[in-house]
Structure 1
Amino acid sequence: MQEDRNQLIEKTRKEDERSDLKQHADGMLRDFEKFNKNSSNRAIWELVQNACDLTTHCRIEIDYRDNKFSFSHNGKAFTTKTLISLVKQVSGKYGDEDIPEVGKYGTGFLTTHTFGRKFKLNSFLDAGGYYLPIKDFEIDRTPKIWQDLSDNISDQKKRVYDLLKEESAVEVSDLKTTFTYLPQSDKELEYIKESSKYLDDYIPLVFTINNRLKEVVIRQENGVTDTYRFHNKKKIENDKGIDLHQSILLKNDEEIHLYSIRDEEEEIEIILPINKNNEVIQFNEKIARLFYYYPLIGSEDFGLNFIINCNKFLPTEPRDTIHLKSDKDQVKADEEANRLIIEKCSNLIFSFLESNIIEVNNPLLYTNVNLKTVSDDNFLNEYFKELSIKWNSKLSELPFVKTNDGYKPISSVSYLSDDFLNPEGDLFDCFYELISKFYSNIPVKEDITKWSEHAINWNNETTVFITHNDLLEKISECSLQDFDEALELLHLTGQ
């Protein structure tokens, strides 16, 4: 009888605990269903974010070798609270006011399970005056139903208490935490590979806007190791009132220079598309344009060639972009706040461009404005049309276009219509030769195609485009001897 009673008590206890853990298990399973390749790209930055929350001098190592994924950092050790929070997958703040936190192993951390729903943790537990080792502590979230996942969470909680009872204190000179994910499917291996694609683009940007990150080591699948280090960041004095900074980073001891402009009060920093040779570059179209401490994976099509970070942004729940415009009352205040931030960022950029404090010889790429105004979201279409008009109006006044008569304002230049943008090279040379006989206010030949493509994206009704008919009309007013050079070029090219 007593044995039956004990079994009943144990069964009741287990059912009660399983019920208590149901919401945690259900939440995980729902989020697992939402995984995609954006989740794996975001996952890297969730790990970086958590690491930088734990130290002001963060050093990170990411290892892609041996068909696994591991992430190590030198941040402070776990506490009993944060270890249990990790097991249950709930937010677990450290409560250190000296290091303000962005993340704390909350829901965003779940995206790291794109690398594997089972991982091992090696770290230390701060027991208050001494440390206990955490050795190969396994977190297993592979079950597909909530009952089994709840049981796993319960077992892992028990192992925390076993650790507290059984492990002996150790001396620790250097703290290190490592998460090693154990992929069990082709999809998880695919997600791991996807996460490595754009690290070389992102890491210098994150170094620039995050002063806690000091070193990142990437061990590639093929055995190659890349080491990124923060070198220095300095303010560039100027008389234009621009808060301009230059960051210097090292990749395998080779310098990478980035320029940024800041509004410290508004917690805004905008990374400019300028390299160490003062050349304007095109940021990779596959990387996010908006950052909230870290990249908002999903904002890649925010069509400006600038990287905008604001620590006051109010991102969407998946942290893939920011609220901007919709018919949802619940996020209306967030949308208004974010639009105001974008307006302030735009004005900062315009002030920088007008100041000309960094002289570049190819300002063309500043003007690559391609905001998405045609989509299924009419509210966003309306917002981006308004933003496009503002940007085009401001840019049109700037003398950025190199013509045969020198640099001219964008609005005073004529561009090529689609009619001329796809011919073979020699035929294009002939077209340009003919057009330049009638129009002096066109970009130089090496730039005209790119300028014209940008102008088409502006969707500005006042922009002047030269068409086939325009050229034919000009030609019809002349005699053949006026075109000796062009005719000779056509003859030589067999046209």
Structure 2
Amino acid sequence: MDDLRAKAGDSPTASRRWVWELIQNAKDVAPADGIKIRISFEKDLDDFVKFEHNGKPFTADNIRFLIEQVSSKDRDKNEDGKRKNTGKFGTGFLTTHLLSGIVEVNGVAKEPELDYRKFKLILDRSGEELEEIIEAVNIAKVSVENLDVLDPYKEYLEDEFNTSFLYFLNNELNIRIAENGMRDLESCLPYAMSFVEEIDSIKIVESNKTYKRKKFHVANDNLIEFIEVYSESDKITIAKLTSGFTNIAIPVKIDGETISIIEIDNNIPKLFCDFPLIGSEVFPFPVVINNPNFNPTDPRDGVFLNNATIKKVEENKEIVGEALSLYYQLLKYASSNKWDNLHLLAKIKSLYGNAPEWLSEPWYNENLLKPIRKELLHAEIVVTADGETRAMLQEDGRKLLWFPYSNKKEIRDKIWEIANFWFPYVLPRKSEIELWYKLIWDDCGKLTLDQLSDFIQQRENLEKLQEVLKEKDAVEWLNVFYEVLQLDEKEFHTIIDKKLLVPNQNGILVKKSKLSHQKGAIEDIFKDILEDFGNEIRDNLVEESIELDFESSIDQSFIIKEIVSEINEKANNREVAKKHRGAFNKILAYFRQYPEKSKNLFPSIYRNRHLLYDDDEIANNFDKAEQLDDLLSNFNVTSADELRSLLEAGKSTSTGILPITEDILVSMGITSVEEWTKALEDKNLEQLYAHNPVPSTDMFVFAQSHIKRARQNVIDHLESLENYDLEHMEEIATTVLAGIKKEDREISIVFRPAYNGEVIIYYGSERDILDYEESELWVDTGDEVKKITLGHILKSAAINKFPI
């Protein structure tokens, strides 16, 4: 009593035991059809707890042992191997005196061959000195010495509440202890009634609830027994598996054909010896284990599972081994039948040095934790983001599932969000991120920022990354990843500087430290020229849309300086220059296309551009000069200007050759040498165009590229318009597109580049198409794509009249 009183205020278990000791005692005297129990808890008025049952009458020994506080129970096993009684030590009833030092017992005594006798007994344990206790025991003995001379109890009915224990609550501590016990009763009652067949019903007067049970199976499967413990206002269903006297149990919810596992409350003991062993909540097992043959500790807060080599410990370990086999059966059954909340079967954890005295942590690790986790890795218990249920490991041991992992919830959520664009089929569903974060262990796939970075690095380039992201733009996705990475500053610097995670302008993933930021616009031709010289500048520049800060930057002036340096170094050596002819040709082409800009950007190189030509080009130019001299002689003029004026005046030679510029070719839609030759034979060309002749062998490439460019720009523009349908479009001539539908009418489109501000209709096919009503003329000016109407032609050409 001293020990109990000392613990009463602080012990998390002592104040909860009293109700189970009373129920256990009642169970041990249950009649054949089961014990009925009624519990009254009154506070704020008389402040008492009254426990009643309809159990068998007291024997004289029962009364004597109750007074002397020694056990009258036999822990021997019956013929089936089950312990006859649950109690053992005789001290359990003492815990009820935490409610009150004085208890009033009312009951009926009965001995064979004798009549029923009704009695009242006061048990006083309020004394704190040995002499006080002895005196109280003697008084109690004297109070029942006249039991045999009492009048027989003629009104005895077996089904009535003939036995009662009345405790008056004298202080706040007593009331709190009563509340703790009653609260524990409602939590653990469904399990106790699932395990103890001797309990018929328990009524709680204050809440007006009478708890009963019914059993059933589902789907004609006898492996699992379902016990529904219900009252007038609530119910809970327990799924139970049994092997011999060993049971495992877990709460479930059944809705039609769907069975969902319910989480076991943290205050539910994991070990039952028919009744809860208060304090065994610390035993980290996924389900509740029961066996009436458990050998519990003295305070009944657990069972001996330590390293002692004694029979009781070995018996306990054997029972837990049976429970482990039942757990495997439950795991297999529940996963194969797609129960909901399967993750709750993985709720097992390391003890981290916090094992109770009765439990050996090494034994627990080797015999429970490791085997269960090994089984869990291959069980299909994880519902993934794509709605499937999968195992954590593949058969060959490779990780199949990846769980977002970080010490920050925000980062865990963000990891899931970005990874869901990539591999939803290996992620847990979003609602279970936190559940699995608390459950997983080192053998599971932990999707940390570092691990996600490894997955990105393995893709090598943007193209491969885009393949797995499908609907999400790879660069946008990377920018979000960098944002998540920066939520953990330490991880950011460790990962971003170590792994290949940032794309350069060639789309290759490299280390951030290897890249520079592009400052302002840089013309692609300059990057091409520099790369032709062997300086892979795009490898050193970050992809332009990446949103990261860089220590260094490169602008166009830097690129131009590099080009100038390369030219100065290589142009003076003719042999070296030959190896870089591609770069020289590109810079020369740029000079021809943009002479004024080139003078400003490359003043010295532009002035000495003749040094960029190779010997063959120089020789070719000499040939052209000689041919020009011949032309001047043939036309009897002394300069190119005189020859130009002569041709413009229409005074050409009998060959009828009219020099054509690139712009004219583009305007006319001419894209081949054959078309040029044919056009030159057309005498009307002299009347169509007045121009300065610029003969060049490159003009056809120029013309063709611009026509292709105009074609694509016109198509892109038409596809952006709602009333044009290009699904069945076909090209029937160089500049004519047919099969286009406009507002369900089939039309033809003539397209032309108009980069020099004008269009010449040369092809007969074009004139024929435009002669039809269902046709349109579209041009690409370089700045915009637009349709040319008759009104536009009349206005721009200042046509006031025309023949019909």
TM surpasses 0.5: yes
Aligned mates of 2:271, 2:168 — CA distance in 1: 31
Give the match for residue 351 of structure 2. Answer: 372
| Counterpart check, 1:60 vs 2:37 | yes
Which of 109, 114, 122 in structure 2 is aligned with 1:125?
A: 109
Deviation at 1:397, TM superposition (A): 0.8
Aligned mates of 1:113, 1:438 — CA distance in 2: 64
| Counterpart check, 1:413 vs 2:398 | no
Give the aligned residue type for 1:110: L
DSSP-derived class of the 1:418 partner: coil
DSSP-derived class of the 2:58 partner: coil
Which of 166, 176, 185 in structure 1 is aligned with 2:162?
A: 176
| Counterpart check, 1:422 vs 2:406 | no
Deviation at 1:109, TM superposition (A): 1.1
Give the match for residue 203 of structure 1. Answer: 189
C-alpha change, 1:129 and 1:444, in structure 2 (3 Å) is same
Aligned mates of 1:473, 1:269 — CA distance in 2: 46
Q: Which moved more, 1:366-375 or 1:292-301?
A: 366-375
Aligned mates of 2:414, 2:3 — CA distance in 1: 61
Which of 194, 207, 224 in structure 1 is aligned with 2:180?
A: 194
Aligned mates of 1:342, 1:437 — CA distance in 2: 44
| RMSD between superposed Cα atoms in Å | 3.1
Give the match for residue 382 of structure 2. Answer: 401
Give the aligned residue type for 2:344: L
Give the aligned residue type for 2:332: E
Aligned mates of 1:453, 1:78 — CA distance in 2: 52
C-alpha change, 1:376 and 1:300, in structure 2 (3 Å) is closer
Deviation at 1:445, TM superposition (A): 1.4
Deviation at 1:271, TM superposition (A): 0.9
Aligned mates of 1:59, 1:293 — CA distance in 2: 17
Aligned mates of 1:65, 1:217 — CA distance in 2: 14
Contact 2:29–2:56, Cα closer than 8 Å, also in 1: yes
Deviation at 1:31, TM superposition (A): 5.2
Give the aligned residue type for 1:275: K
| Counterpart check, 1:41 vs 2:19 | no
| Counterpart check, 1:444 vs 2:435 | no
Contact 1:65–1:219, Cα closer than 8 Å, also in 2: no
C-alpha change, 1:187 and 1:244, in structure 2 (3 Å) is same
Contact 1:301–1:371, Cα closer than 8 Å, also in 2: no
Summarize the alignment of residues 61-460 of structure 1 with structure 2, pairs less than 5 Å apart: 61-66=38-43, 67-93=47-73, 100-103=84-87, 106-127=90-111, 128-135=113-120, 137-167=121-151, 169-173=153-157, 174-220=160-206, 224-230=207-213, 232-234=214-216, 243-252=223-232, 254-264=234-244, 267-277=245-255, 278-326=259-307, 328=308, 332-356=310-334, 358-375=337-354, 380-386=360-366, 387-405=368-386, 406-411=388-393, 412-419=400-407, 421-423=408-410, 429-440=413-424, 441-455=426-440, 458=441
Deviation at 1:481, TM superposition (A): 4.5
Larger Rg: 2
Aligned mates of 2:347, 2:475 — CA distance in 1: 35
Contact 1:89–1:107, Cα closer than 8 Å, also in 2: yes
Question: For residues 107-149 of structure 1, what are the alpha-carbon distances to aligned partners after superposition, in whole Å with 9 as ceiling and x for unaligned?
Answer: 11111111111111112122544222223x2211111000111
Q: Which moved more, 1:97-106 or 1:145-154?
A: 97-106
Give the match for residue 764 of structure 2. Answer: none
Deviation at 1:82, TM superposition (A): 0.8
Aligned mates of 1:290, 1:271 — CA distance in 2: 10
Give the match for residue 24 of structure 1. Answer: none
Deviation at 1:169, TM superposition (A): 3.6
Give the aligned residue type for 1:372: L
| Counterpart check, 1:462 vs 2:443 | yes
Deviation at 1:435, TM superposition (A): 2.3
Question: For residues 323-348 of structure 1, what are the alpha-carbon distances to aligned partners after superposition, in whole Å with 9 as ceiling and x for unaligned?
Answer: 0113x45xx33222212221221111
| Overall identity of the aligned pairs, in % | 23
Aligned mates of 2:433, 2:248 — CA distance in 1: 28
C-alpha change, 1:261 and 1:471, in structure 2 (3 Å) is same
C-alpha change, 1:468 and 1:103, in structure 2 (3 Å) is same
Give the aligned residue type for 2:38: E
Q: Which has the higher relative contact order, 1 or 2, with Cα contacts under 8 A spaced 6 or more apart?
A: 1
Aligned mates of 1:105, 1:180 — CA distance in 2: 23
Deviation at 1:319, TM superposition (A): 1.1
Q: Which moved more, 1:42-51 or 1:84-93?
A: 84-93
C-alpha change, 1:483 and 1:198, in structure 2 (3 Å) is farther
Aligned mates of 2:217, 2:243 — CA distance in 1: 13
Deviation at 1:210, TM superposition (A): 0.8
Aligned mates of 2:279, 2:217 — CA distance in 1: 31
Aligned mates of 2:56, 2:239 — CA distance in 1: 32
Deviation at 1:238, TM superposition (A): 5.8
Contact 1:77–1:175, Cα closer than 8 Å, also in 2: no
Give the match for residue 482 of structure 1. Answer: 474
Aligned mates of 1:403, 1:249 — CA distance in 2: 33
Contact 2:350–2:369, Cα closer than 8 Å, also in 1: yes
Aligned mates of 1:316, 1:181 — CA distance in 2: 27
Aligned mates of 2:476, 2:18 — CA distance in 1: 63
Q: Which moved more, 1:91-100 or 1:114-123?
A: 91-100
Deviation at 1:439, TM superposition (A): 4.1
Aligned mates of 1:47, 1:101 — CA distance in 2: 13
Give the aligned residue type for 1:155: I
Residue ranges of structure 2 left out of the alignment (5+ in a row): 394-399, 463-471, 488-804
Question: For residues 413-438 of structure 1, what are the alpha-carbon distances to aligned partners after superposition, in whole Å with 9 as ceiling and x for unaligned?
Answer: 1122234x422xxx765432212244
Deviation at 1:448, TM superposition (A): 2.1
Deviation at 1:259, TM superposition (A): 1.5
Question: For residues 254-286 of structure 1, what are the alpha-carbon distances to aligned partners after superposition, in whole Å with 9 as ceiling and x for unaligned?
Answer: 54322111012xx01111332223101101011
Question: For residues 381-410 of structure 1, what are the alpha-carbon distances to aligned partners after superposition, in whole Å with 9 as ceiling and x for unaligned?
Answer: 212222211110011110111123522212
